[in-house]
């Protein structure tokens, strides 16, 4: 009996030591990006320096790092960071290949002047160290290509109690591609962070800002954004949105055109988060952007008939998996929305759907 107690005590001490090592390493290795980072000329350049057209088209898509297609579930959506509960930490290689090929085909076959992608891995264990930015820009030859990291770690040690298949190394972020070459591209850190120790395993949210010369001597400012997820009550998103509001208004007051697109992880003003499945929330909730967030002349642009996000506690099943709309555009008052279309893929390649928009600069 004494031997048994010693064994149990030894195991408990080993467990405490392991968790302590994980937390110490995570804290020491936690990436702390600067508030503002110049993204340079990008990994691929366009030879078009000035926008001559008044009508432009945009696509946004959170590609789910090429790992969250229809067959996927995800441990963080159900069990948290301690154990996987049999859910995917990363998909099997064959599924990863399938999602990657579908994402590439979409980029190759879709006509747009601007592509704003979120959750793009360039060197991550979860996506078999595939450089998705390179694959996307190869399908969009002649487009400028910029990467703004928002998740960077040499080793993400979750699920904590399953060290044999942890998340591992991650380098991921926002990728913005365009037929035009911006004269300035910047990564801006968004405010707010989770409490320790959760923050050492979470993304460092940002917005990438790209400035283009327009033939009428104005600037088009295009922003790629991805707000916080797993943010109960929306406290972090409120901080981020307050920062973004000042940024949007300042650019418009300079006389610039402003287009913002991405995964906001919240619904547009007045949009019912369970509108596609009334009352069948399955325990999910999603906050709305406040109606008074911006003056009425600003416009939220989205297709209310097509969901853009499905929840991933289990593989996608039409009519059963909870779906909502959290991916959309915002345009300044000097821009006219001409068309917008949610592109329903039945979530084959990501847990998000792309959204296409056409606008006119006035």
Query: From the CB of residue 169, how many other CB atoms can be counted at a distance below 10 Å?
Result: 15
pLDDT at 306 over 90: yes
Phi-psi region of 45 (alpha: psi -120 to 50; beta: other; left: phi over 0): beta
5-19, 47-61, 197-211, 243-257: segment of lowest average pLDDT: 5-19
Cβ-in-10-Å burial (0-12, 13-18, 19+) of 289 comes to buried
Do residues 164 and 84 touch, judged by C-beta distance below 8 A?
no
pLDDT at 184 over 80: yes
Distance of alpha carbon 120 from alpha carbon 100, whole angstroms = 11
Q: Indicate the SS3 state at residue 50.
A: strand
What average pLDDT does the structure give for the chain? 92
State the average pLDDT over residues 118-139.
97
Q: How confident is the model at residue 25 (pLDDT cuts 50, 70, 90)?
A: low
Task: Give the per-residue pLDDT at 197.
Answer: 63
Do residues 156 and 200 touch, judged by C-beta distance below 8 A?
no
Residue range 237-278, pLDDT digits in tens: 999 999 999 999 999 999 999 999 999 999 999 999 999 999
Cβ within 8 Å of residue 36, ≥6 positions away: 186, 187, 188, 189
Task: Give the per-residue pLDDT at 313.
Answer: 92
Q: Indicate the SS3 state at residue 106.
A: helix
Run of H or E including 38: strand 36-38
Select, from the ranges 10-19, 25-34, 191-200, 212-221, the one with the highest average predicted confidence (pLDDT). Answer: 212-221
State the average pLDDT over residues 341-356.
98
Residue range 63-102, pLDDT digits in tens: 999 999 999 998 887 766 788 888 888 999 999 999 999 9
Task: Report which of 64, 88, 25 is spatially closest to residue 172, judged by C-alpha positions.
Answer: 64
**DSSP E strands: which ranges in 157-273?**
168-178, 184-189, 206-214, 219-226, 257-263
Residue range 316-332, pLDDT digits in tens: 999 999 999 999 999 99
pLDDT at 183 over 70: yes
Task: Give the per-residue pLDDT at 29.
Answer: 67
Task: Give the per-residue pLDDT at 327.
Answer: 98
Task: Give the per-residue pLDDT at 240.
Answer: 96
Distance of alpha carbon 317 from alpha carbon 296, whole angstroms = 38
Task: Give the per-residue pLDDT at 20.
Answer: 77
Residue range 220-235, pLDDT digits in tens: 999 999 999 887 777 8
Distance of alpha carbon 339 from alpha carbon 59, whole angstroms = 12
DSSP codes joined into one string, 342-355: E---TTSSSSB--E
Distance of alpha carbon 197 from alpha carbon 29, whole angstroms = 13
Percentage of the chain exceeding pLDDT 90: 75
5 versus 118: the higher-pLDDT residue is: 118
Q: How confident is the model at residue 32 (pLDDT cuts 50, 70, 90)?
A: confident
Cβ-in-10-Å burial (0-12, 13-18, 19+) of 191 comes to middle
28 versus 303: the higher-pLDDT residue is: 303
Task: Report which of 80, 33, 67 is spatially closest to residue 198, judged by C-alpha positions.
Answer: 80
For the stretch 18-51, what's the b/e string if a residue is b when 16 or more beta carbons lie within 10 angstroms of its beta carbon? eeeebbeebeeebeeeeeebebeebbbebebeeb
Q: How confident is the model at residue 198 (pLDDT cuts 50, 70, 90)?
A: low
Query: From the CB of residue 227, how many other CB atoms can be counted at a distance below 10 Å?
Result: 24
pLDDT at 200 over 80: no
């Amino acid at each position: 009996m004494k031997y048994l107690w010693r064994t149990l005590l030894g195991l408990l001490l080993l467990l405490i030591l392991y968790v302590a090592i994980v937390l110490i390493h995570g804290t020491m290795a936690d990436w702390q990006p600067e508030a503002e980072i110049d993204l340079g000329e990008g990994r691929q350049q366009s030879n078009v320096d000035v926008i001559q057209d008044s009508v432009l088209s945009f696509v946004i898509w959170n590609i789910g790092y090429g790992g969250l297609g229809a067959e996927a579930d995800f441990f963080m959506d159900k069990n948290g960071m301690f154990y996987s509960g049999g859910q995917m930490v990363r998909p099997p290689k064959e599924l990863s290949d399938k999602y990657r090929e579908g994402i590439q085909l979409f980029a190759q076959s879709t006509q747009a002047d601007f592509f704003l992608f979120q959750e793009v891995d360039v060197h991550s264990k979860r996506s078999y160290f595939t450089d998705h930015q390179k694959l996307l820009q190869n399908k969009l030859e002649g487009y400028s290509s910029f990467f703004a990291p928002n998740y960077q770690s040499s080793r993400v040690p979750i699920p904590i109690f399953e060290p044999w298949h942890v998340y591992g190394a991650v380098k991921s972020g926002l990728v913005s591609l365009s037929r035009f070459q911006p004269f300035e591209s910047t990564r801006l850190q968004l405010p707010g962070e989770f409490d320790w120790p959760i923050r050492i395993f979470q993304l460092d949210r940002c917005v990438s800002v790209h400035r283009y010369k327009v033939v009428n001597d104005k600037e088009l400012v295009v922003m790629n954004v991805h707000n916080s997820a797993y943010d109960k009550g929306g406290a972090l998103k409120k901080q981020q949105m307050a920062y973004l509001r000042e940024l949007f208004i300042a650019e418009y007051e300079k006389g610039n055109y402003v287009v913002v697109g991405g995964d906001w992880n919240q619904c547009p003003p007045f949009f019912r988060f369970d509108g596609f499945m009334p009352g069948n929330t399955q325990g999910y909730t999603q906050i709305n952007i406040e109606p008074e967030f911006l003056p009425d002349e600003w416009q939220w642009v989205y297709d209310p008939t097509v969901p853009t996000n499905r929840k991933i506690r289990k593989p996608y099943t039409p009519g059963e998996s909870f779906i909502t709309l959290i991916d959309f555009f915002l345009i300044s008052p000097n821009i006219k929305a001409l068309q917008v279309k949610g592109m329903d893929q039945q979530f084959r390649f990501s847990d998000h759907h792309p959204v296409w928009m056409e606008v006119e600069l006035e």
